[in-house]
Structure 1
Amino acid sequence: MEFRRDINGLRAIAVALVVLFHFGVPGFQGGFIGVDVFFVISGYLMTGIIFSRMRKETFTILGFYLDRARRIVPALACLCFVVLLVGWALLLPVNYVELGKQVLGSLAFVSNFLYSQEAGYFEQAAHEKWLLHTWSLSVEWQFYLLYPLALVALRLFVPIDKLRWFILAAAMLSLAISVYASSRWSIHAYFLLPTRAWEMLAGALVFLFPLRRMHTDKVSWEWVGIGLILFSAMFFSSQLDWPGALAVLPVLGTALIILQARQDSIVTSNSVSTFLGKTSYSVYLWHWPVVVWINYFGLGGEAAWTVLGIAASILLGYLSYRFIENMARQRRSRPARAFHSSRPLLHIGVPTTAAAVFGMAIIVSNGVSQRMSEDFYAAMGRLDLPRMNNGWCFYDVNSDENLAVGSEGLHCVRGESGAPLKGLLFGDSFAGHYGPFWDRVGKDISAEINSVTTNWCYPSTNDVIYGDSSTRSYDQCLINRQYFLENVSDYDFVVLSGSWRNIYTSNQMQGVYDAIAYAAQRTRLVIVMPTPTYFDVNVKNIYARSMLFNIDFDISHFAKTGDAEAVEANRAVEAFAEQYDNVVYIDREALFNVDGLPSEVTAENIPFNYDENGHISIYGSKMAAESFTSSSSYRELSRQLMEVRNAKARLKPKPDPKPRELVTQWLTNWDMPNSAVITW
């Protein structure tokens, strides 16, 4: 197809909106719609190429794939390789392994599947994913793979002029799926092809249903299209279900601009638009790692770094365009015999293989853990989750294959071993992470505490979990819950804890309420623990990074949007606990504080949390115990536990007297002279 200045200018608008959005420039909170603009352009151009070649009888699927690979793969592979090199110097081993997986997913064009299983595109945790933006390339490539195959197959049965009606039907179906799925499965709808295909098919329909207009009408309709795009970029936000019904506006705006085909537009044909349009793909590739790099060092949101970041993105994009993309175009323009040579495979295969091998090596070597010092690992060890393999009791059969499913997970005693007061800690990982806490408290109150905890196995009297019921964790959970039902009355007090947020949002709270009621009827005291704070990022990793690079750690910088549901769930559990005189709910403030003031870090400015999912670390659990034992809540709990112990002592039956004691008592009570009392 001939070069279209208007489409090149549209690319400039699209990439500018995406860059401004990702760098957080005010007024462009809807700049993510730039990707939707790209999709329409891509659908239009690909349809033009395929149908033009079909009509000339020169279209081949292999040739089409090779052209797309030349256009996309070299620059992408170069980016992946460079990011891996940067990761060597910057990333912790666990994050480096993640980056290796992201590289493989990006090069295989399946990264959208990977990201659809994780945090949403708009969440703060997304700024930890160096190749998050490659999801759109994966969607496009999947479209490139399936679209020509479908057209060629239909072409066997349908005349070429009739194919557009099938494309129209497919576009309408995809749009309907998108609108329906966006409000129900927002993350999957954002990342996956079925809900995005209609945007590319909309571009196809622009090519297949051309509309002719007068020049004056073209100017007006072009401005309408530009207005729809700018309105969407400035007034839409990440709070919308996307790509839902409102995505029609920027898609329609893009379609209107392409339809007018104005080659002398002041908006799309000026020198800035021409430059940005030509370099748009490479600018798009390089800008996001720059965003992540800036946020990695806590510099996001600062005006100077935003300006520098945008400038760096454009510079890196230009260099990539000049020395990688342009070379690919030159190779493509060579005589046809070059197609049959090994050059295309070398130019595409070598950089891809190099980046892929590098990524696999990082995964296999567990992030090249030797890069970090032993002192660093020692410091990080105490910020781990308390599991069986590091000396605690959480029976993590989900990740530790050495743990057998069975009764071995029912006995792990902490606190004061052999103490007369017996307690049971029961629940999922949110009970397991309180192991060090109850070890300390148990020693203070002279109590032996048995921990029965495993993955997803929150306190409940039924067989429902919020996790994967096909795993070993579920099998262990059934064993744990049966133990709870049969043995809870053997304990003087019971501690219940779970991921109340996940249970609450999964509408499974009735099982929790039943477990609290069941325990309250069978033991003297039930203690319910709170779900800790949920952050949008992994605060432990960010703290580790601050140690590694001597950066100030300020936990107030990190969003907690997901914590609102946890707070609501905690309130629901607390409200239910208040119905029982022998059920005590311990609130967050009693556990996570410094000198009595609520805090998300300890006095040493170390986070209580282990990850972004509300778990606390070994260190955090111990420090929560330190804070708690100085609180009024602890003094009240100690009083209640003392009452439990005294009540148990009063009810304890006296042992039968031994024979010697019986004879002595008989002789003592026998009415006879003192001199006659026989010394026994």
Structure 2
Amino acid sequence: MEILRNGLCTRSPNHASSNAASIADSIPGYRPDIDGLRAVSVLAVLIFHAFPEVLTGGFVGVDVFFVISGYVITKHMLREIEAGTFSFFAFYGRRIRRIFPALLPVLVCIYGFGWFEMLPEEFKQLGLDIAGGAGSIANLVLWHEAGYFDVSAALKPLLHLWSLGVEEQFYLAWPILLLATVRSRNSAFWPIVVVGIGSFALNVVVVHHDTVEAFYSPWTRAWEPMLGAFLAYRHTTDGSTSASHANIKGILGLLALVVSFVFLTESFTFPGWWALVPTVGAYLVIDAGASQTFASRVLGWRPLVMIGLISYPLYLYHWPLLSALKISSGSVVPAAWRVVALLICFPLALVTYRYIETPIRKSRHPRLVVGILVLLMGGCGFAGYNAYQRGGLEFRMSHMVGAFADGVNFDRDKIWRRGECYLEGSDKSFSDSCVDAGSGPLVMLWGDSRSAALYPGLRSVSSARGVRLAQFSTSGCPPVFGGDPRCAQANARVIEIVKTTRPAIVLLTANWTTDRLQALSATVDALRAAGVGRIVLIGQVATWQSSLPKLYWLFWREHHEKMPARSFFELDPASRQYDRDGAAIAKQLDIEYFSAFDAMCNASGCVTRTGPGRGSIIMFDDSHLTPAGADVVANSLASRIFAQ
């Protein structure tokens, strides 16, 4: 997010090390407590991203920044509108001179990192993220990318730019709307209230059926800067609050922020109603800070103010560094490395603030500076989009690594029958085509996305043996009862289909955990009640601690040779344990068991590829089979199951 230096004034302090008192003396209207609030918020975000178990609600620091931005920007605009000095060119020029200088080196550096460290598919996605960040639409790009197979957040170095996108869209739209509706500062009330209430209502409605949209959409986030805008309107029209009332507000606001940081977790439906806790807390703290209060004295503490001054570059640097560690290591990053990454951010942010941001903001040639910054940002966006359009620029890497990485580039939606027999996201119901026509014995495959990954292999072996095949796969939904409404509805429908189609064999497979395996009892009872004679539990496939294509790259980087066709390199030991658990559950339920783990692994290691060239890698991530991998498991399954 862009963290404004002090939007109540037109310039910023010269040095981050200047104390709050000297800044206040040199800049009329300066609020050191707002910089302190920025510091608290950015530190909460940093701690959460590095150690989420330590500060489970640290992510709400971003929501606090939205309120700050709404307050600072709106108060400045209302003053200029009243004085008749507001200029769109000057406003947007200031935004460019504040946002672009720190963002440009981040985009350039992460492009360079990706060039040397990322596989083609990863670099392709990074290119799109760079283009989105350069074009002020990072949140919209990430919203579009989000899905069941979206890569882990830790592997997206520019994921944090979503909040900057929301703020930039606010900066783009709000001045136009405000100037179009405001003839005096008093009339600002209605656009602020209408936009704020409308956005909050939309947020509450949307979050219950699409949390991704509620999180990334500017429409469901606009109410947060509008809350700050409403406070700015109040401060330009109302008198000051009494000292006693201001103290109470400040203390309540600080308590609300502490509660948010400590007690909120990612499991909460967010933003929704819960976002009111940190945002109202920020509102109260900013409101109280207009007077000399306990809260303003705490937040005006010199070290906090100093951190607040560099909070924007601090925010920009921290996540790419943490993500780069994860990408380079391919496994869990040690806590000590994460601490070092956070510590490095502070001198980087200080240097950026002192030697890049401040000179650019103070330039005597603002129009020239804006023009150069826009050209440079456009160049970054073009470079990123070019990498995306050209498939991640595979020529960067050795032919050996690129060839095996290519195994992930199959048409998953077509092969898995997305929207028909594999439901993901907003897909609603199964198609009639999910059950083969004909008169041969029917084998039904039921499970989550792991079953969809196995389907291409079963398709081949069933056709060769004259067996009909039915597929019912739903992302994130193992074949057990209960769970979220989407899974419950899909699985209930499968049982109804079982009753009418009466399959000879039902194959159950999923991303198994101990809890899911123990929940199979009700599923088995329902299948037996429907007349199914043979129920086969397919155990956990061998899984890896990172995506298999990435492990190929890491192995080559370490050993300067390609990963063996069978290997235990970075194999996830949990998959072996879940395989044993599955066998025990199958015995307990008196159903058949097929060990997918044993089909893939022997004393020499687990299979990583089926041949020497393109398309032979057996997994496209850490746990989902490619068509080549599906053939390995399905051939072993067929010889065991279909032979009986």
Are 1:497 and 2:464 counterparts? no
1:305 matched to 2:345? The reply is no
Query: 2:429: which partner in 1?
Result: none
In 2, Cα distance between equivalents of 1:370 and 1:529: 41
Structure number, greater radius of gyration? 1
Q: Which position in structure 2 is the counterpart of 1:257?
A: 285
Conserved? CA contact 1:43–1:200, under 8 Å: yes
CA distance, structure 1, for counterparts of residue 153 and residue 473 of structure 2 = 23
Matched residue, 1:616: 625
One-letter amino acid matched to 1:345: G
Q: Deviations over 1:167-201 (max 9, x none)?
A: 12322222222222222211110111122111111
The one-character-per-residue Cα deviations of 1:50-90 (angstroms, maximum 9, x if unpaired) are: 10000100012222111111111222122111110111010
Counterpart residue identity of residue 78, structure 1 = P
Alignment partners' CA distance in 2, 1:326 and 1:208: 29
Q: Which moved more, 1:496-505 or 1:319-328?
A: 496-505
Counterpart for residue 37 of structure 1: 64
Aligned-residue offset at 1:250? 1.1
In the TM superposition, residue 626 of structure 1 has moved relative to its aligned partner by 6.7
Partner Cα separation in structure 2 for residue 277 and residue 252 of structure 1: 20
Whether the aligned pair in 1 keeps the contact of 2:44 and 2:58 (CA below 8 Å) is: yes
Further displaced range: 251-260 or 97-106: 251-260
Q: Does the 8 Å CA contact 1:383/1:619 hold for their aligned counterparts? A: no
1:510-521 aligned at under 5 Å gives the runs: 512-513=494-495, 516=498, 520=502
2:272 corresponds to: 244
The CA deviation at 1:322 is 2.0
What do residues 132-157 of structure 1 show as CA deviations (whole Å, max 9, x unaligned)?
Answer: 1111111111111111111111125x
Q: What is the DSSP-based 3-state SS (H/G/I as helix, E as strand, rest coil) of the residue aligned with 2:55?
A: coil
Within 5 Å, which residues of 2 pair with 1:196-595?
196-210=221-235, 212-261=240-289, 265-296=296-327, 297-298=329-330, 300=332, 302-331=334-363, 334=364, 338-339=365-366, 341-346=367-372, 348-380=373-405, 433-436=454-457, 442=461, 449=463, 492-501=466-475, 505=486, 507-509=489-491, 512-513=494-495, 516=498, 520=502, 525-526=504-505, 528=507, 530-531=509-510, 539-550=547-558, 553-556=569-572, 589-593=594-598
Tell me which amino acid in the other structure corresponds to 1:276. Answer: I
Match of 1:187 among 184, 206, 212: 212
- 1: CA distance, partners of 2:573 / 2:51: 15
1:624 maps to amino acid: V
Pair 1:498–1:611, CA change in 2 (3 A): farther
Aligned to 1:550, the other structure's residue is in SS state helix
Displacement of 1:23 after TM fit? 0.5
Q: 1:142 to 1:379 in 2, by over 3 A?
A: closer
Contact between 2:66 and 2:225, CA under 8 Å: does it hold in 1?
yes
Identity among equivalent pairs (%): 25
Q: 1:174 to 1:286 in 2, by over 3 A?
A: same
Secondary structure of 1:499's partner?
strand
Q: Tell me whether 373-382 or 10-19 shows the greater mean CA deviation.
A: 373-382
Of 111, 114, 120 in structure 2, the residue corresponding to residue 84 of structure 1 is 111
Q: CA deviation at 1:358?
A: 1.8
Determine the structure 2 residue equivalent to 1:51. Answer: 78
**Distance in 2 separating the partners of 1:140 and 1:315:** 25
- Of 98, 123, 134, 2:161 maps to 134
Q: Which has the higher contact order (CA 8 A, sep 6+)?
A: 2
Could you tell me which residue of structure 2 aligns to residue 177 of structure 1?
Answer: 202
Q: Which amino acid aligns with 1:144?
A: Y
Aligned equivalents of 2:351, 2:318: Cα separation in 1: 13
Runs of 5+ consecutive residues of structure 1 not aligned to the other structure: 399-409, 411-420, 443-447, 451-490, 579-583, 640-680
CA distance in 1, matches of 2:135, 2:413: 37
Aligned ranges 1:72-151 → 2 under 5 Å: 72-119=99-146, 125-151=152-178
SS at match of 1:638: coil
Query: Structure 1 residues 371 and 124 mapped into 2: Cα distance closer, same or farther (>3 Å)?
Result: closer
CA distance in 1, matches of 2:76, 2:214: 28
How many pairs are equivalent?
530
Residues 385 and 130 (structure 1), Cα distance of their counterparts in 2 relative to 1, 3 Å cut: same
| Amino acid in the other structure paired with 2:463 | I
**Runs (5+) with no aligned partner, structure 2:** 1-7, 9-28, 421-432, 434-439, 479-485, 513-539, 560-567, 610-616
What CA deviation, in whole Å up to 9, does each residue of 1:186-221 have, x standing for no partner?
111011112211111111111212363344543443
Change (3 A) 1:558 1:314: farther
Shift of residue 131, structure 1, vs aligned partner: 0.8
Q: Aligned partners of 1:217, 1:397: CA distance in 2, in Å? A: 57
Show the counterpart of 2:534.
none
